[in-house]
Amino acid sequence: MKKKKIKKNIYPKELFRQDFFKCPIWFADVPQFVNDIDKASDKYIDQAKKELKPGINKRNKKYGNKGDMGSVYHSTSLIGDPSFKNLINYIGATSNNLLIEMGFDMSDYKLFITEMWVQEFAKDGGGHHTLHTHWNGHMSGFYFLKASDKTSMPLFEDPRPGNLMNLLPELDKTKVTYASSQINYKAVPGRMVFFPSYMPHQYVLDMGYEPFRFIHWNCQAIPKGVLNVVQEK
């Protein structure tokens, strides 16, 4: 059988592209909250360090002193603390507007910040988070308090399972293209990042060169009808 050569110059004269199933990530630089929120979060991080200290000491005694390497200090809930009220209101209003921007009808729903906590990675390095999603939310996000070019950063992964099943190599990994399956997001103090809660994300390994602290939250939209029933009870 004779092989046919494919002509490289064959291309439709008019080819229209339509982008569907977009996966948005938003960011804004909001420095006005940093100092107050960082200070207010100190007591939560101090408590988290206190709770993890016995386990760290036990590990170091058994395997050799590695300091707090690999630790992630995770606070209790920040919701209800008046020190975070302005930040919570800002995040809630912005998240609601973003869901509307995405095309969702929020008229019969009320958005709540259901979870908010602060995290700090170990000063001796090794802090990280493995890939995960927040199945119980509609909008999630980060607010960086302490970060630099030398700290960890969030890494987002394509949330479309079908696209990850048969990946081809990227032509240029220095650029974000349709072929990209992962992207890094730069962590800057005062930067706020919003993303749909279904977006898989992780934090790359932190080397402990500089402090890394951030706020994390989840928002969930609750039907107003459900809220009315609960209030009646």
179: CB partners within 8 A, 6+ apart: 168, 170, 171
CB 172 within 8 A of CB 132: no
Is 11 contained in some domain? no
Distance CA(221)–CA(139), nearest Å, equals 9
Give 32's pLDDT tier (boundaries 50, 70, 90): very high
Q: Which residues contact 5 (CB under 8 A, 6 or more apart)?
A: none
Across the range 178-193, mean pLDDT stands at 93
pLDDT per position as a tens digit, 79-126: 999 999 999 999 999 999 999 999 999 999 999 999 999 999 999 999
What is residue 186's DSSP assignment?
-
Res. 192: pLDDT tops 80: yes
Task: Average the pLDDT over 211-233 and give the result.
Answer: 83
Domain residues for the domain of 113 are 31-51+70-159+179-232
- Domain annotation covers residue 63: no
pLDDT in tens, 38-57: 999 999 999 999 999 999 99
Residue 105 lies in a domain: yes
CATH number at residue 195: 2.60.120.620
For residue 57, is it within any domain?
no
Q: Is residue 26 part of a domain?
A: no
In total, how many domains does the chain have?
1
